Amino acid sequence: MGGTFDPIHHGHLVAASEVAAAFDLDEVVFVPTGQPWQKNAQEVSPAEHRYLMTVVATASNPRFTVSRVDIDRPGPTYTIDTLRDLRATRPEAELFFITGADAMAQILSWKNVDELWSLAHFVGVTRPGHELSTQRKDVSLMEVPAMSISSTDCRRRVSGGEPVWYLVPDGVVQYIAKHGLYRKGAPETGTPVQPEVSTTT
């Protein structure tokens, strides 16, 4: 499942869990975007923060893993590259790609869309406020419990001092607070996360 995950929330996790159960998947790989080119007009948090929040959110599920392929690849993030990179590390696997209804509606604008269908089986899931449809017979559409949660709303809430408890996993609430993400004028927004250097004297 690819996403900007800024931050990851329970809508993402429920969608992944439902698809995993329906298709009897061995693993769900969460792939945070590096540079989500269709979100160029908006500010996106540093990839390391989004990656670490995704790790925190998925840590308790033994079937959930997180991949760095998109954040470690320079340049804009294209799903064609994501799927090729995942294929290289899992040559025998049958790949599925999970998308919400809003992403599914945009898919024809994605890079090399005609090639995408042969690289993975696409599964579109319902999302409140968005119509789920496809013209393709090889795409699966699935109804999942309605989670009226978006990362945009989570960021707005934190920025306005409102709670995000129970919209995102507890560890993600704590990660956001610890690093001061999404607060107005937060120093981390838009700047790279540097590894901490400890000095001894």
Ligand X SMILES: Nc1ncnc2c1ncn2[C@@H]1O[C@H](COP(=O)(O)OP(=O)(O)OP(=O)(O)O)[C@@H](O)[C@H]1O
Residues contributing to the site for ligand X (CB under 6 A): 3-6, 11-12, 15, 99-100, 102-103, 125, 127, 147, 149-152
CB atoms within 10 A of CB 105: 17
Q: Which is nearer to ligand X, 56 or 125 (CB)?
A: 125
Which residues sit opposite 146 in a β-bridge? none
Question: What does the alpha-carbon distance between residue 94 and residue 119 come to, in Å, rounded to a whole number?
Answer: 9
Q: Cα 163 vs. chain centroid, distance in angstroms?
A: 21
Question: What does the alpha-carbon distance between residue 33 and residue 53 come to, in Å, rounded to a whole number?
Answer: 13
Task: Mark the segment that binds ligand NCN (CB under 6 A) among 32-40, 51-59, 132-140, 172-180.
Answer: 32-40
Query: What single-letter DSSP state applies at residue 37?
Result: G
Select from 29, 45, 60, 58 the least CA-distant residue to 154: 45
Task: Mark the segment that binds ligand NCN (CB under 6 A) among 11-19, 56-64, 76-84, 133-141.
Answer: 76-84
Q: Which does 169 bind (CB under 5 to 8 A by kind): ligand X, ligand NCN, none?
A: none
Q: Which does 38 bind (CB under 5 to 8 A by kind): ligand X, ligand NCN, none?
A: ligand NCN
CB of 149 to ligand X, least distance (A): 5
Within 163-182, which residues bind ligand NCN (CB under 6 A)? none
Q: Which is nearer to ligand X, 82 or 194 (CB)?
A: 82
Question: What does the alpha-carbon distance between residue 113 and residue 38 come to, in Å, rounded to a whole number?
Answer: 15
Q: Of all helices (H) and strands (E), which one includes residue 113?
A: helix 113-119
Q: Closest residue to ligand X, Cβ-based? A: 100
Task: Mark the segment that binds ligand NCN (CB under 6 A) among 19-27, 29-37, 61-69, 174-182.
Answer: 29-37
Question: What does the alpha-carbon distance between residue 44 and residue 76 come to, in Å, rounded to a whole number?
Answer: 13
Strand 96-100 to strand 121-125: parallel, antiparallel, or no bridges (unpaired)? Answer: parallel
CB of 124 to ligand X, least distance (A): 8
Q: Which residues bind ligand NCN (CB under 6 A)?
A: 2-4, 31, 33, 36, 38-39, 77-80, 103, 110-111
